[in-house]
Structure 1
Amino acid sequence: MDVPYELNAYTRVLKLASTPDWEEFSRISLIAAAGILLIGLIGFLIFLIMGVLPGA
């Protein structure tokens, strides 16, 4: 395990990274929110189905 080499690699990646502009940030936020809502909706539907099936 060559620690200085790994630190150089991490430093190189951080130098290449840049902060997103407002348009990119808002688009990423909307996509993430849509994914969270979709997962929540799927979980809620499973909850409703499991609530109905045992009573049948």
Structure 2
Amino acid sequence: MCKIDTHRHSGKDTAAAIGVTCPTLVRWAKDPEFPQPMRISRRIVRYNLDAVKQYLSEKAA
């Protein structure tokens, strides 16, 4: 049985959830402090939405 990781989201879904554009999310991901996406294949990356939200809330505080 395959376990599905519900914490990993596409860049498009992650950007929409936090209210930014995809290019903004990609730019932020270049910062080593930002939660790094997991590369599934050469063209597919997934973001940990919980980690991204936590990072943004800590940065805003």
Higher-Rg structure is 1
Higher strand share: 2
Higher relative contact order (CA 8 A, sep 6+): 2
Q: By percentage of residues, which structure has more helix? A: 1
